[in-house]
Amino acid sequence: MSIHTDSNRRRFHQTLGALIATGLSLQSSQTQAQDNKPIRIIVPFATGGSNDIVGRSMAQQLSTRLKRSVIVDNMPGAGGAIGSAAVARAEPDGNTLLLISSTFTMNASIMKLSYDPVKSFTPVAMLGMGPSVIVVAASLPVNSIKELIDYSKKNPGKVFFGSAGVASFQHFAIELFKLRTGADLTVVHYKGGGPALMDLAAGHVHVSLGSLIQMQTFLRAGKIKILGVAGHRRVDLIPDVQTLKETGVDVEVSNWWGLLAPAGTPISVVDRFNREANAALAEPDMKKRFASEGADPMPMSRADFDKFMAEETAKWARVAHETGIKIE
């Protein structure tokens, strides 16, 4: 005789239905809670630098487009490696992104990292590229690249260069500049481009290099002056300033910015970030923002961004070998 009476079967199906409904309800609640959680963009440098400026601009755009809170969290130190390591360890749930720049592709060639720059992350989006400029404190008695080189040689050990940190973009660029010109510049490392620029404006250091995007305030205030553009062409905002190559210095360095996610982040989430970031870069306001700072938006597919980073990593590894740059 079967124990499955009609009554038992009805109770079984009612209980099963309730369990399924409860599971779906819990899953829906978890998804909703996840969607309400702020997205963090980790900027691995101090406030005030180009990474911070670009990161905050994109955070605002993504917040509007995704209809979610997107916040910037600055984690400076070790040439960006501290913030990068934090993102490598983060849950791959789509709530953490890393704002990277040229420095990210430099670190692996000169320091031991706690993460794999390729395997620990998933490429999300390329954001833009900005011209690098060499600037000096307004009080320094030089007005050209040649005068800077000559002045540094006549004052050995007395001309200080403010770097955003060991193995930073500025560190790599100025070591290459010194190699190619023989300039006698003593490198002083800070925890980010912002603090280095503040000390330059105050006259505590004499020279710096960085993106035009971070120089604007001090230029307008007359605290610093630009001697040369380290990019491949002159900049529309400062058309009278020559490129380094035009002055006879064979150095070309430009800074760029992009977004990564922790490895394992769902591809559907990463793809959406890519679409929304690219769409944001096409917005007139964002184009105007980049243009006003002398930078260019550079939307890419995730595959193209991945290829670009690989090429940059190989390029800076060659520079590290050529200059002998190392962690002190």
For 178, the 3-state DSSP assignment is helix
Closest by Cα among 133, 139, 127, 153 to 57: 127
pLDDT for 15 equals: 56
Which residues, in sequence order, are bridge partners of residue 134?
209, 228
pLDDT for 10 equals: 61
Fold of 131-247: D-Maltodextrin-Binding Protein; domain 2 (3.40.190)
pLDDT string in tens for the chain (328-residue length)? 444 555 665 665 565 555 455 554 444 444 444 567 899 999 998 888 888 989 999 999 999 999 999 999 999 988 889 999 999 999 999 999 999 999 899 998 988 999 999 999 999 999 999 888 999 999 999 999 999 999 999 999 999 999 988 778 888 999 999 999 999 999 999 888 889 999 999 999 999 998 887 888 899 999 999 999 998 888 888 999 999 999 999 998 888 999 999 999 999 999 999 999 999 999 998 998 888 777 889 999 999 999 999 999 999 999 899 888 877 5
- Specify the pTM: 0.78
Sequence-distant (≥ 6) Cβ neighbours of residue 40 within 8 angstroms: 70, 71, 72, 73, 95, 96, 97
DSSP string, 206-257: -EEEEEHHHHHHHHHTTSEEEEEE-SSS--TTSTTSPBTGGGT-----EEEE
pLDDT for 130 equals: 84
pLDDT for 30 equals: 41
Going from the C-alpha of 18 to that of each of 12, 13, 21, 143, the distances in angstroms are 10, 8, 5, 78
Domain 37-129+255-323 has CATH 3.30.360.10: no
pLDDT for 2 equals: 46
Closest by Cα among 264, 247, 222 to 150: 247
Domain limits of the chain? 37-129+255-323, 131-247
Identical fold, 37-129+255-323 and 131-247: yes
